[in-house]
């Protein structure tokens, strides 16, 4: 059985590497984190991704919500949003993309792991 593949889209390098290391220890396949929404589409097109962990505020022309909308047109990949800015307007906008989850930073790795497991099970990717 193949490992579930997770793409991390996070522009905070330390957090991205921490998540990557933690998820790999849990048995997931995690490639190099992507730090801008502009690069997400290339990753989605070139790799078989089962789940995306997406920061909303990224240092790129489009944010994580816009990237998730574009991805949904290409492939039905579950997205878990992360944000350090708990704002109701942003949350409403994010929820329109029908994310698997919406988590506020600092995220507890155990909480993230539970969300990932539940999401992959629902998607039949486990």
Question: Structural domain tally of the chain?
Answer: 1
pLDDT at 2: 73
> Quick one: pLDDT at residue 124?
80
The CA distances from residue 34 to 10, 63, 82, 118, 122, in Å, are 6, 13, 14, 23, 25
Residue 99 has pLDDT above 70, yes or no: yes
Domain assignment of residue 80, given as a range:
5-123
| CA dist., res. 104 & res. 53, Å (int) | 12
Domain of 62: which CATH number?
3.40.50.2300
2-12: per-residue pLDDT in tens?
799 999 999 99
1 confidence band (pLDDT: 50, 70, 90): low
């Amino acid at each position: 059985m193949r490992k579930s593949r997770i793409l991390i889209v996070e522009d905070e390098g330390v957090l991205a590497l921490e998540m990557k290391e933690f998820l790999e220890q849990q048995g997931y396949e995690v490639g190099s984190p992507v730090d801008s929404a502009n690069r997400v589409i290339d990753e989605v097109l070139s790799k078989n991704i089962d789940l995306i962990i997406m920061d909303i505020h990224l240092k790129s022309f489009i944010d994580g919500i816009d990237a998730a909308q574009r991805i949904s047109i290409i492939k039905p990949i579950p997205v878990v949003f992360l944000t350090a800015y708990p704002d109701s307007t942003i949350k409403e906008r994010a929820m329109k993309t029908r994310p698997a989850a919406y988590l506020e930073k600092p995220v507890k790795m155990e909480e993230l792991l539970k969300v990932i497991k539940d999401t992959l099970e629902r998607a039949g990717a486990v």
